[in-house]
Every structure is written in C-alpha cells, then in structure tokens.
C-alpha cells in the first residue's frame, strides 16, 4: 500500500504518465540590498510558454526538500522556481535556528511579503514562463508565505498551502486576494488548532475569496516530508496517505487553474 501511494505521489493520478526530463540551475536575485539564491527547475527542451509555479520552503530554508518538490513540478511540465526567503541560500542548522529565522518573517509580514514577491517576480522573468499562468505553493513556513503573498494582492492564478499556518495580523487584507486558494491541512495539526482554521474560513468568506480547505484525518504538521519521521505524538510527522492525496489535490487544482502543460 505504501509503495502504491508513493508511486501515486511521484506520478500523479495517471498511471501511464511519462515524466519530463528536466534541467536545473541556481538563480541569483535580490530584494532590496539582500542577495537571494533560488533554484530553477524546467522541463528540458520545452516548447512554448509554460505555467510557472513558485515553491516556498519550510522553516529551515531552501533545502533539498523544496528543491525536490520543484524538480517534481518540472517533471510534470511546469517551470518551477524554489524561492530563497532567508537570503544567500541560508539553511538553519537545527530547530532552534529555524525557529529564530522563521519568526523574523512571521513577525514582520511586510518583509515576508516583499521577499516572496521578489521571488515571484524572478519566476515571471524566466524565459518560457507564461506570465498569466502562475501559481505559488508553500510548505509549513512556506504555506504562510504564499497566503501572505495572496493577501498582498499579487497577480496569481492560485496558491496552495501545505500544512501552513493560517493566521495573519491583517485579515482585512483578504479583500486584496485575486488568486484561488487551496489549503491542505492536517486535521490533527497542533500548530494550527481548530480556532485558527475557523478564523481563516471566516476571513475567506468575508472577503468573497474562491477558496477550498481539505483536512486529512490522522495527519499532523509537516505531513508531506518523510524527514519528519512517523511519530505523531511529536506534533510533526510524515503521513504517506496525506502526502499522496495532497499532491493529487494540488494537481487537480492546477488543472482547473490552467490547461495542463
């Protein structure tokens, strides 16, 4: 069963899907005076403008996990750009440092929006990207980032939050959202309690946003990343079923946003 779920995760809903060969490279860009180093993954020998997907990392920074997600998107035929929110490719050495780094941006949503917007602009500037077909996805910290990007009024077709926090100091900014919103949530996530979910739902309703929220039973925080282990009692753990189902939900959402590349 686990093997089947992992195959579903890698290949999506179509068993006969042939994944594209890809090319990858580091891309240096800036937000103000800060040097950022993102990761670009593109289908090899792609023809015609393709939809682009911005990928925002978990709380440790732009690590191999976020890059692997960008690779998977490129294999599906998208141009994927993994953002570097912390700058200079900084990756936290441990949870303590990750908490300090992520807290800086979660406590300064203006800075978080600016860093994410600079990353979005860099994706849009890449050759072969269809500027009117752009989505953004984020994991944990990155989920918070892409929701804030949407609240800023960014020109996006859609955003997807995987096990991200849903709170915001400025819920009134939801009126600026132009994107469709998909939230993929662990139903047992102690970091995003029911009252936070309820507040988010009310925020979306009040602003008239086109939104969806899918909650996966038995899943806690970080359910898409195998590096988190399998002990739910820690509050952060991998869940293969929720991982596969959430990736499939994202793909269906993208099919709605723009024609499959």
Confidence of residue 13 (pLDDT cuts 50, 70, 90): very low
Mean pLDDT of 222-242: 97
pLDDT band at residue 17 under the 50/70/90 scheme: low
Q: What is the pLDDT of residue 11?
A: 42
pLDDT at 221 over 50: yes
- Host domain of residue 20: 2-257
What is the mean pLDDT of the segment spanning 72-95?
97
Q: How far apart are CA 147 and CA 207, in angstroms?
A: 14
Give residue 18's pLDDT: 63
Residue 118 has pLDDT above 70, yes or no: yes
**DSSP per residue over 203-248, as a string?**
HHHHHT--EEEEEETT--BTTT-GGG-S-GGGSB---HHHHHHHHH
**Whole-number Å distance between alpha carbons of 184 and 252:** 13
One DSSP character per residue, 151-178 reads: HTT---SEEEEES-----S-GGGGGG--
Q: How many domains does the chain have?
A: 1
Q: In angstroms, rounded to a whole number, what is the distance separating the alpha carbons of residues 143 and 58?
A: 8
pLDDT score of 20 = 84
pLDDT of residue 188: 98
Is this model's pTM higher than 0.85 or not? yes
pLDDT at 260 over 80: no
Output the pLDDT for position 41.
98
36-71 pLDDT, tens digit per residue, is 999 999 999 888 799 999 999 999 999 999 999 999
CATH number for the domain harbouring residue 223 = 3.40.50.1820
- 136-146 confidence digits (pLDDT tens): 999 999 999 99
User: Which uninterrupted H or E stretch holds 84?
Assistant: none
């Amino acid at each position: 069963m686990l093997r089947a779920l992992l195959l579903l995760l890698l290949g999506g809903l179509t068993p006969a899907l042939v994944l594209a060969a890809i090319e990858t490279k580091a891309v240096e860009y800036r937000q103000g005076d800060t040097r950022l180093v993102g990761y670009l993954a593109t289908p090899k020998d792609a023809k015609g403008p393709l939809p682009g997907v911005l990928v925002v990392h978990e709380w440790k920074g732009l690590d191999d996990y976020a890059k692997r997600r960008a690779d998977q998107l490129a294999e599906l035929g998208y141009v994927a750009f993994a953002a570097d929110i912390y700058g200079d490719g900084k990756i936290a050495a441990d949870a303590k440092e990750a908490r300090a780094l992520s807290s800086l941006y979660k406590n300064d949503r203006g800075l978080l929006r600016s860093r994410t917007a600079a990353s979005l602009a860099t994706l849009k500037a890449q050759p072969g990207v269809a500027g009117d077909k752009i989505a953004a996805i984020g994991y944990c910290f990155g989920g918070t980032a892409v929701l804030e990007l949407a609240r800023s009024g960014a020109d996006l077709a859609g955003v997807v939050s995987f096990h991200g926090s849903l709170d915001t100091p400025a819920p009134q900014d939801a009126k600026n959202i132009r994107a469709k919103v998909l939230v993929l949530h662990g139903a047992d996530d102690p970091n995003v309690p029911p009252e936070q979910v309820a507040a988010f739902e009310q925020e979306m309703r009040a602003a008239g946003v086109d939104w969806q929220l899918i909650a996966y039973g038995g899943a806690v925080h970080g359910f898409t990343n195998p590096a988190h282990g399998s002990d739910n009692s820690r509050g952060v753990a991998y869940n293969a079923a929720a991982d596969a189902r959430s990736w499939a939900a994202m793909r269906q959402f993208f099919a709605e946003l723009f024609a499959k590349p």
